[in-house]
Structure 1
Amino acid sequence: MTQARETVTFKPGEVILYPGVPGPRERAYRVLKGLVRLEAVDEEGNALTLRLVRPGGFFGEEALFGLERGYFAEAVTEVVLEALPQEPSPEVFKELAQHLAQALAGSYRRIERLATQRLKNRMAAALLELAETPLAQEEEGGIVLHATHDELAAAVGSVRETVTKVIGELAREGYIRSGYGKILLKDLKGLKELAQARGEGR
């Protein structure tokens, strides 16, 4: 007999998990629908996106091992999550390990971009990554990304004021068109070339 899924729903902006040692009732989760952001926040309130968890991905695995958590998990869109049992099946453990290996590889790429690329190149990479999440929609004229400058700043490890300048530069050069709370990705090929370029960091 297949055990029924235990699911929970969160609205956009709701915090799902907080930093610290997981409590006895905390669980690890698989995302069934929506997008979850894992982010670190410093004492001044500046956020850094560590990774985005899309449908099929896992987060909160610290609860399975009693490890301290160093990030917030926040619902970016409305999300539906499957709460994993305290002792997942071997099949689920295998899926979890596979996902974490992919997440770690993505973290390595982001660290490399921080060290070797200028902000403009990192922004191009971040826009392309966000274009593959529920924040993006196919509309007439191309892919439209619904994201604020604060969210973009967290994605590239910068501040909103600097990101606003870079967004303006990308718009003037024809890569994107920027509007209130949304960005049209006009030149995907150009953004990919920009994202792959290497140069002096920062």
Structure 2
Amino acid sequence: MKAWAGAALPGLAPEDRARLDALPVQTLPRGAHLFGPGDTAQGFAVVLSGRIEVSLTGPSGRETLLYAVEPGQTCIQTTLGLLGDEPYSGDAITASETRLALIPAPLFRTLMDRSEPFRALVFRAFATRMSDMTQLLERVAFTRVEARLAQALLDLASEGVVEATHAELAARIGSAREVISRRLEALAKRGLVATDRGRVLLRDPAGLKRLADAQ
């Protein structure tokens, strides 16, 4: 079994690193569901490659992307669940093929109690994630929808094309699908994008960047 803990969690004592390296590494396909509202955290996932997206769905069915977990990052909801016995309130789904190791809850708590390096890694990653969440709230509260949408398109584009539905874009920026549809139509009329089913072509990335920066 290939060792992973040394690279993913540096600074651990050799015996702790050996215990983690003995854990199985899972490879999950895109679209795998990891947890949902009301579930109890069973362990601490260390993402080795890929991406997990955590979203929240309101009573109306509107979905908002809270954050993504990539290598070197942690899931706030999992940390809260393991440290404070809080159930999950969001959904976690793999956005691409993902390799991860799951540290069982008892081992996680043991390492938090006895390993200062492990404890520091968890809290440092948690603090970084909380800062990201604060920035997300600020963007949703104070940044215009057009600016958030323009930035999302630039972030998601691969060779000038975004493969995403209007609902997926709405979830990413904390808006509604109908709003995104209207804003994309307006951007298309201005020559900034062209839309197709599930695809957005960026015709003027520089113009989108100016729109994103204008806020």
- State the TM bucket, normalised to the shorter chain: 0.7 to 0.9
Aligned to 1:71: 90
Alpha-carbon distance between aligned partners in 2 of 1:22 and 1:37, rounded to the nearest angstrom: 18
Work out which of the residue numbers 173, 180, 192 in structure 2 matches 1:175: 192
Paired positions, count: 187
Q: CA 1:7–1:143 in structure 2 vs 1: closer, same or farther (change >3 Å)?
A: farther
- Deviation per residue, 1:111-147 (Å, 9 max, x gap): 1222222211111222334x3xxxx53xxxx343322
CA distance in 2, matches of 1:163, 1:77: 24
CA positional deviation for 1:47: 0.9
Residue matched to 2:34: 16
Indicate if the aligned counterparts of 2:53 and 2:68 stay in contact, CA closer than 8 A: yes
| 1:91–1:188 CA distance, 2 compared to 1 (3 A) | farther
Q: Does 1:145 align with 2:159?
A: no
Q: Quick check: 2:74–2:129 contact (8 Å CA) kept in 1?
A: no
1:177 and 1:19 map into 2 onto residues whose CA distance is: 36
- After the TM superposition, which segments of 4 or more aligned residues of structure 1 sit over 4 Å from their partners? none
Q: Against the structure 1 CA distance between its residues 31 and 173, is the aligned structure 2 distance closer, same or farther, given a 3 Å change threshold?
A: farther
Q: Percent identity?
A: 29
Structure with the higher helix share, 1 or 2: 2
Matched letter for residue 134 of structure 2: Y
Q: Which letter does structure 2 place at the counterpart of 1:14? A: A
1:37 and 2:63 are equivalent in the alignment = no
Q: Which runs of 5+ in 1 are unaligned?
A: none
Larger radius of gyration: 2
TM-score of the two chains, using structure 1 as the length reference: 0.78
3-state SS of paired residue (1:8): strand
Distance 2:146 2:190 in 1: 12
Q: Partner amino acid for 2:95?
A: V
Q: Does 1:114 align with 2:140?
A: yes
Q: After TM superposition, give the deviation of residue 81 of structure 1 in Å.
A: 1.6
